[in-house]
Amino acid sequence: MKNLLITILMAASFTCAANKAPLKSYPNGATKAVIFSYDDGVTQDRKLVELFNKYQVVGTFNLNSGLFAKKLPWMKAFTGKAGEYIKQSEVKALYIGHEIASHSYSHPGFAGLDTAELKLQLARDKQILSPIKGSPLNSFAYPLGSYDKAAMTLVKQAGFTNARTVNDTLNFKLPTNYMAWNPTVHHSNAMPLIEQYLALNSNELSVMMIWGHSWEFDKNAENNNWDYAEKLIQTLSYKDDIWYVSAGEFIAFLEGK
Ligand SMILES: [Zn+2]
């Protein structure tokens, strides 16, 4: 009887020890996360979303609602044909399964912009995109990667939980400042880092955030063409130890919400 009691106590203490040090993981049990963050909401997003859907990865799409349906004549110099922003009427259906996020109303650089204009840029984009999304916007990407302290404060005050920069970290560490979230790498330099990330074997939580613009794949240049895009997405896809997630959902998880 005494031995049985000791056995039970020992078993209980092992259980407690196990509970005290749970292995931290993402909701699917993974310790790695992959986020794709794409800017501007141009018509090439249609093709990129198709690829994301084919390989079941998740994108965060940062949109400028003040520019919907407008033409981008400068794009011809890069891709051979003028560009165009997507239409407002297609936003909801196009980005099903992905995150609709803000990139400001009309894409001014945020550093040094006056407070009233900053507030307007944030409020207008939210006003148009939130009803389409069907819930409050969570994620933001600074237009032109341009921001300062005042911009960070106002983006947070506007209710965003995270704001992406264009300053590549080239590592897989969790973001520390959500209002200046430095991504891992632009897609054109991503392949070597993808290989590193797939080989990473760690119990620590990590994240790889890839960013860019879908129109860049129309450049048909090295590391900026659609075959490259597909190879990149395919290489990262269908891994059991990766959580494919939007920027907003990722930060909500880190904040325990
Ligand atoms: Zn942009």
**Tell me: the pLDDT tens digits for 216-237?**
999 999 999 999 999 999 999 9
pLDDT at 9: 46
Stretch 77-96: mean pLDDT, rounded? 97
Stretch 176-199: mean pLDDT, rounded? 98
Cα 196 to averaged position of ligand 1 atoms, centre (Å): 28
Cα 142 to averaged position of ligand 1 atoms, centre (Å): 7
Q: Encoding tokens for residue 48?
A: 């990129």
φ/ψ of 30, rounded to 5, equals -80, 160
Neighbouring-strand partners of residue 242: 32
pLDDT reading at 182 higher than 50: yes
Q: What are the chain's domains? A: 32-256 (3.20.20.370)
pLDDT reading at 213 higher than 50: yes
pLDDT at 257: 77
Cα 54 to averaged position of ligand 1 atoms, centre (Å): 25
Cα 21 to averaged position of ligand 1 atoms, centre (Å): 43
* Mean pLDDT of the residues in the chain: 93
Distance CA 161, CA 169 (A): 20
pLDDT at 192: 98
- pTM, 2 dp: 0.91
Cα 105 to averaged position of ligand 1 atoms, centre (Å): 11
* SS3 call for 154: helix
Q: What is the CA radius of gyration of the chain?
A: 21
- For residue 185, what are the contacts with CB-CB under 8 A and spacing of at least 6? 168, 169, 170, 193, 208, 210, 211
Cα 149 to averaged position of ligand 1 atoms, centre (Å): 19
pLDDT at 17: 42
